[in-house]
Structure 1
Amino acid sequence: MHTDPEILLVYDRDTCVGIVPVHIADGTVRFITDERVTDVTGFVYLPRYADDIARALASFTKQEGLRIELYPVEQNDPLVHRLADCLSNAALTRADVNPLLELPVSWNDYLATLTSKSRHELRRKLRKGHAVRLETSAPNAIESLFELMAHDARKRQFLTPEMRAFFAAITTHFFRNGWLRLRCASIGNTLVAALLTFSHHRCTYLYNMGINPQYTPLSPGIVAIALDIESAIIEGNRYYDFLRGDEEYKFRFGARKQYTVSLQA
């Protein structure tokens, strides 16, 4: 195992088979994350090396006398469970709710999965917001998202210059890699909602959103998400991940509860 100030690398001879994006401070191994902007994180590794990586990381922390605090990790990540088995006095606990929607092959099939009440409400809002058009935008449209987010007092406080720079950087980087889905919903020439979503490995992630409060009666956020789900289905995605937070609207869209976990040892 090789280390530097930022990450741990696991090698099989000269081949890197695992990347553990952590830093070590105060005798504790933690992921390189900022909870304000990171809903889930984890390991990058070749699946067949999960056992080897778990043993190597457990051995490394034991030799160095280090504690482990890894959060937030996907609950179904095999490596975190194998690592817990390799550590003494390990505690693996549920952390945050990350609602996940499994997507069928068509919009009609999706509607059929909803409860009759949720389906009725969604169709009603789509009829009421029939004039809303959702389009994919370039990274520079992030400024429009900021303007909409700033209508919310909590999000306005969150949008420090540091955070604005962070979002601008990741949207540019993700756009270059084909992962960005910055979606702007408009009525005519008026922006009514914007979604910052990403797409990777046939999963769409709803990361953040902003709404024009003047159009609240049309439920522009709900309409925009519904149109985005429809697009995700057409694009062949298997999942729509609402990420951290147990807001009720996510479950009305048919998402089921899944959790991140925290590993401490």
Structure 2
Amino acid sequence: MRIDIIDTVAGLEAVRDNWDQVFMDDPDAQHFLSWIWLKNYLSRRRRWFILALRERDPDSPYVAFFPLRLITHLNEKTGLFYDEIIMAGNFAADYTGFIVRPDYEHHAIAGFASFIKHQNWTDLKLEYFSGPAGRHEKMIEALRGPEVMFRDSSPKNNENIDNTICPIVSLPASFDHYLEQRMSSQTRQKLRRFLRKVEGGDLYRITMATPETIHRDLDILFDLWRTKWSARKGAERTERLIITTREMLMDCFNNGNLEVPVFWYGDQPLGALANIVDRQKKAILFYITGRDENWKTPSPGLILHGYCIRRAIEQGFKTYDFLRGNEPYKYMFGVEERHISCTLFRTRNGQNLHGALNPRSIRFVYEQALDMYRNGARGRAEIVFNQVLQSAPGHTGAGFGLANLLFDRGKLTEALAAYKALAEQAPDPTPIRMRLGDTQLALHQYDQAAETFRLVGEVGPHLIQAHYKRGIALVAGKRLAEAEAAFAAIRDVHSDDPAALDYVAKANAALERIQASAEPTPHKTDVVSETIARWNRGWQLSERRRPRLH
């Protein structure tokens, strides 16, 4: 067996037919592991990757898919970053895990676990992991090792709701059969009476969202949901959840996989549901609801769920899934329980396995180091630049960051050596050579600085800053005729870039000083000292504050 990595939308699109076949072959596959749901969800996220298992023959089809995602955190105590592998659908999917053809279950567990154990991570979270009986235990056994420990990480809440229990209704052939076999006589009579009231009068009605009403209907749902949950979850978190949930639900709606029934009393909305429709597995997944908490009877929740269950039966669906959470009201609908699990694996030393960042997090961590540097947290940036270099030897950006720190601390000789080495290995040495030239100027190596800036100017004629600094170096080296020619060339530049225009103005001023120094006047200016002094003032005010990194 072999494992390939899919980590682009194009790669995911290329395996759609294969994925759909495995999804249908796996009797325990859930909609949140379907190709259509994951494609939309992952398209909006970064650093996800899918383990795809198949026979060694490169032409053989894939037999299992395991969607994962990488998240990276900063350890505030050590200043180092560490990686966490989570299920790809976490934060939106009620079920996670992998899909597999049943005859490859053992191969999938062994292959996926072996791959994960060879990755660099501190935490591995199998949250809301679903599958047939025994899959969870076999995964734990396959992932165990001397360097990691594990524990149950099922979330706790104040309402004593167990989110690893998922109530589900297996739908019979008729609604009458469902009412007789699954509901208590009291609930059955109440639901029938309420549905007659909805369908036989003018005051109560249920509407289903259409392309014209979907935004209004979701507004209703989330307004009602916000009223109930904002105080408990906090206003900021509530709004963040609404934004991300709405985005996901709209993806489902645009794919034809969402129903939003709204229960009305006249023009007053009393409640709304968002039900994801899994047409492949013939399942309705109740995802979120909002209801008027002040309205008591008829019960919006009972009416909406009863209406949707009847509709699902009429359309030939097999299950009505209440998803995570064993809230008491779900049990009036005659549910059975499906169990999922949450397990946290953590390295015993609290650091990434193999002592290095995950390759997929290198760029992210490097960008964090750049932000630290730009925001003045130089000590923290140094730690992270070194971590990047340790994990990715030869990383030019991290080496450049460390060289800039040497320059900032006045360690010019060390900075000079670092810049020279980096300029030899960088694919684009221009930013490094600019800093190399600055360092040579600061060390009074004027001829070398002039040559460095000349090389930069040859590669990028539009880099006015390099031409100007070459002129400065030539002045400092008392090569005034060459400096005059360099500044004169800048004078004729036409640009809309304010920075370029600033250097044009500086070049004109320097040129005037050179020309004035050649005239016999009683109070001749020392053009070299004056030009260098002006450059030093400008460098202190701008260059040193905002060093260029790449």
Matched residue SS, 1:7: strand
Instruction: Determine if contact 2:90/2:96 at 8 Å carries over to the other structure.
Output: no
Q: Is the 8 A contact 2:166 2:338 kept in 1?
A: yes
Residue number in structure 1 paired with 2:399: none
Shift of 1:142: 1.1
- Rounded to whole Å, the distance in 2 between the matches of 1:227 and 1:144 is 19
SS of aligned partner of 2:334 = coil
Q: Taking structure 2 as the reference length, what is the TM-score of the superposition? A: 0.43
TM-score, normalised relative to structure 1 = 0.83
The CA distance in 2 between the partners of 1:218 and 1:180, in whole Å, is 25
Residue 146 (structure 1) aligns with = 222
2:88 aligned to 29, 32, 44, which one?
32
C-alpha change, 1:58 and 1:213, in structure 2 (3 Å) is: closer
1:97-127 deviation line (CA, Å, top 9, x unaligned) = 1111111111100011123343244345445
Consecutive unaligned residues of structure 1, counting only runs of 5 or more, are none
Greater mean alpha carbon deviation, residues 136-145 or residues 125-134: 125-134
Greater RCO, CA 8 A, separation 6+: 1
Q: Partners in 2 of 1:169 and 1:11 — Cα distance?
A: 31
Q: Secondary structure at the match of 2:260?
A: strand
> Contact conserved, 1:20 with 1:44, CA < 8 A, in 2?
yes
% of aligned pairs identical?
24
Out of 229, 252, 265, the residue aligned to residue 332 of structure 2 is 252
**Aligned pair 1:21/2:43, yes or no?**
no
| Structure 2 counterpart of 1:55, from 105, 110, 117 | 110
1:101 is aligned to 2:169: yes
Range with greater deviation from structure 2 (58-67 or 199-208): 58-67
**1:129–1:219 CA contact under 8 A, matched in 2:** no
Q: Distance in 2 between matches of 1:157 and 1:107?
A: 40
Contact 2:168 2:336 in 1 (8 A): yes
Deviation at 1:21, TM superposition (A): 2.0
Residue in structure 2 matching 1:137, options 189, 209, 216: 209
2:272 aligned with 1:194: yes
Residues of 1 paired with 2:342 and 2:229: CA distance?
Answer: 30
Shift of 1:78: 7.0
> Counterpart in 1 of 2:30?
none
Which of these residues, 179, 185, 188, is aligned with residue 116 of structure 1? 185
Q: Partner of 1:70: helix, strand, or coil?
A: strand
| Contact residue 184 and residue 194 of structure 1 kept, 8 A | yes
Measured after TM superposition, the shift of residue 45 of structure 1 is 4.1
Q: Any idea what SS the aligned residue of 2:107 has? A: helix
Is the contact made by 2:128 and 2:342 (CA closer than 8 Å) also made in structure 1? yes
Tell me: CA distance 1:93–1:235, structure 2 relative to 1, closer, same or farther (3 Å).
farther
Bigger helix fraction: 2
- Where structure 2 has 5 or more consecutive residues not aligned to the other structure, the ranges are 8-46, 73-81, 155-163, 346-550
- Corresponding residue of 2:51: 9
SS in 2 for 1:150: helix
- 8 Å CA contact 1:51–1:79 kept in 2: the answer is no
State the distance in 2 between where 1:187 and 1:52 align: 55
**Structure 1 counterpart of 2:243, from 162, 165, 174:** 165
- How many matched pairs? 264
Task: Tell me the SS of whatever aligns to 1:178.
Answer: coil
Provide the alpha-carbon RMSD of the alignment: 3.0
| Match of residue 322 from structure 2 | 242
Inter-partner Cα distance in structure 2 for 1:78 and 1:198: 27
For the residues of structure 1 that align with 2:152 and 2:255, how far apart are their CA atoms? 34
**SS of equivalent to 1:257:** strand
User: Is the partner of 1:151 in helix, strand or coil?
Assistant: helix
Q: How far is 1:68 from its partner?
A: 3.6
Q: Which has the larger radius of gyration?
A: 2
- Quote the residue 1:183 is aligned against: 261
